[in-house]
Amino acid sequence: MDGNLRRSLLAVPASSTKMIEKSKGLACDQILFDLEDAVSPAEKGSARANLIALFASQPTFRARYISIRINAANSLYFKDDLAALKQIPPGALFSLVLPKVESAKEIDSLGASYLIDAQIESAAGLSNAETIAAHPRLISLSYGPLDFAADLGASLDALTESDLEEFTLYPLMKILVAARANGKLAFDGPEVDIRDSEKFTKGAKRVRALGFDGKWVLHPDQIELCNQIFIPSETEYQRASDLIAKYESAQSQGLGAITDGDVMIDEASRRNAAKIVARRKAFN
């Protein structure tokens, strides 16, 4: 599995056996069993034990990809997380999610056994996003909005909606460009207001328009919304297919750029349309 078919990344606290069991039947693309922020210090040990027991039972999941988010490389819990991973059968995990990554060297500390999904959650991490994205075992970058804001000392609650969009645009675009320049996927972080579907939808549509592949989700109710937002609609698919057909017809007649009504169609238009068609087909 190359990990390309990912839109919805569901974070599941590894401390909750109830949530672990429920996650088996959920239609998210990736499950991220969380040993980090969703688990209190007092529950770290039992959370690790829950995952060891889970994978020893050879579970089946509806999700395509199963991963574990360990604690940050500079945390007190990192070594114990690595020790617990040695008790999970080889091949049971698609990747490890490494939070608060600030340098590519942190990925090296995990050894060569795992693909890595990295979270960019600090000024240092963002400034090094290009070198992190270039690591050969790195398969995606994710934006961690709350930790990033905390690292900068930002008061998100004091920002207007438009100010908040301006605040997040730079880190989002830097993460996206770093990922794309290295052939990797890019994901937005979660919407923490889990009951506000309108807020989730607006944020997800924004980052999808920017070019992101998907988004973290924190509640099962967000999964279907996320899955639908991050694939082209039938209308988009048909429009893209028609554009490709018109452009290829023009090329067969020896023409280059053409106009379709008031819109110019050229090779860049065709490439963009081809990506829409390919993504729609990939998820259907």
Residue 97 CA to residue 90 CA, distance in Å, equals: 16
Residue 85 CA to residue 96 CA, distance in Å, equals: 10
The whole-chain average pLDDT of the chain stands at 95
pTM of this prediction? 0.94
Tokens standing for residue 5: 């078919």
pLDDT (tens digit per residue) in 194-216 = 999 999 999 999 999 999 999 99
- Report pLDDT for 256: 72
Provide the pLDDT confidence category of residue 50 given band limits of 50, 70 and 90: very high
pLDDT (tens digit per residue) in 131-180 = 999 999 999 999 999 999 999 999 988 999 999 999 999 999 999 999 99
Residue 156 CA to residue 175 CA, distance in Å, equals: 20
Show me where the domains of the chain are located: 8-229, 234-282
Q: Strand pairing partners for 138?
A: 116
Residue 229 CA to residue 283 CA, distance in Å, equals: 12
Strands (E), the chain: 8-13, 30-34, 65-69, 95-98, 116-120, 138-143, 185-188, 214-217, 258-260, 263-265
Topology of domain 8-229, CATH: TIM Barrel (3.20.20)
Tokens standing for residue 205: 């549509």
- Report pLDDT for 258: 82
pLDDT (tens digit per residue) in 78-92 = 999 999 999 999 899
- Out of 56-70, 90-104, 212-226, 247-261, least confident range: 247-261
- Report pLDDT for 1: 59
Could you tell me which residue, 8 or 90, shows the higher pLDDT? Answer: 8
